[in-house]
Amino acid sequence: MLPGAVRADDVADFYRGKNISLVIGYTAGGGYDLYGRLVARHLQKYIPGNPTIVPQNKPGAGSLRAANFIFDIAPKDGLTIGTVTRGVATDPLLGESKFDPRKFSWIGSTTSETSVCATWNTSAVKSWGDMFRRTFTMGGSAQGSEPDSFTLLLKNVFGAHVRLMTGYPGGNDINLAMERGEVEGRCGWSWSSIKSQRADWLREKKIDILTQLAMKKHPDLPNVPLLLDLTQNEEQRQITKLVLASLVVGRPFFGLPGIPEDRKAALRKAFDETMRDRDFLDEATRLSLEIEPVAASEVESLLAELYQTPNAVIEKAAAAIRR
């Protein structure tokens, strides 16, 4: 028997009859949870041995609690995978966490992301220019989370008159705070999540989108200014690009550092096959979830590039998103 076939049989023997824990770093019902559970329903059929994938929500600290659990505590046997904030790619560089994302066993991402800053319709801040004419409040989750980091980027790099009110467990909680009038809006809000979970808010014009956060404009938002286009000098652009780089990672899935290479390869192959699965794509369409897969190798290449950013830029970017 060929060596590759032996390894495939070994992987199947290991996974057969077992459960894989999918640790989701946010509360139920949010964008990461929807993507996580969608992937779980289809990924298991492509993993040799057909194990059952069991989603487990572990919210806290902008999902860094889950990331730290996966990095430090969970067994390194291939029976735990995770999906957490895409900021996991840049948080260690910017001083928000201590693990090294280059050591994760990256599986892939369902999509790269466009994020936005938006306000509730009752807010007087309805455009990019309004942010510099009046003080307004945005909801946050925790130091290092996207709602916090992107809001502070607006304040400390661009000079927006914004106050951050943080401590909400997740995005749905910030949405409720907007409806209740506790805060006026939020940043770090995935456009894909808005379309899938709050399409009625778009139809009824309940939110105003101030700027989009991405490497390039989303086709749906041709008239919403791209934050990178609003930078006024090279240093501001470098800082902004570093803070936003994690959006390329989108909705990441990964295993623990040090899991056996044959199991990591099997998980990657299963993920790639899932991204092409017709039933998976049809369900994603029904849920209004965008699928533009990012391969594990692309994530690894991005991380290698980010970790060569000049220290002076890293230090200024870290200071900009620190409360």
Residues 176-194: pLDDT tens digits? 999 999 999 999 998 988 9
> Is CATH 3.40.190.10 what the domain over 115-245 is classified as, yes or no?
yes
Are 3-112+247-320 and 115-245 the same fold in CATH? yes
Q: What pLDDT is recorded for position 96?
A: 59
| Phi, psi angle pair for 133, to nearest 5° | -110, -15
Spatial distance between the Cα atoms of 293 and 291, rounded to a whole number of angstroms: 6
5 pLDDT tier (thresholds 50, 70, 90): very low
**CA–CA separation, 243 and 259 (whole Å):** 29
Q: Which residues of 199-231 are buried (b: 16+ CB within 10 A; e: fewer)?
A: eebeeeeebbbbbbbbeebbeebeebbbbbeeb
The rounded mean pLDDT for the chain is 91
How do strand 115-120 and strand 105-109 relate by DSSP bridges?
unpaired
Return the pLDDT at 306: 87
Report domain extents, the chain: 3-112+247-320, 115-245
Instruction: Provide the pLDDT for residue 7.
Output: 61
Q: Region 158-177: what's the mean pLDDT?
A: 94
What type of residue is 32? Y
Q: Residue type at 10?
A: D
Place of tokens 């779980």: 40
With residues binned 3-state (H G I as helix, E B as strand, rest as coil), the percentages for the chain, rounded to 5, are 45, 20, 35
Give 267-285 pLDDT, tens digit per residue.
999 999 999 999 999 999 9
Going by pLDDT thresholds of 50, 70 and 90, the confidence category of residue 2 is: very low
CATH code for residues 3-112+247-320: 3.40.190.150
Query: Looking at residues 295-318, what average pLDDT do you find?
Result: 91
Place of tokens 């809000």: 189
Q: Is the pLDDT of residue 62 over 80?
A: no
* Number of residues written out for the chain: 323
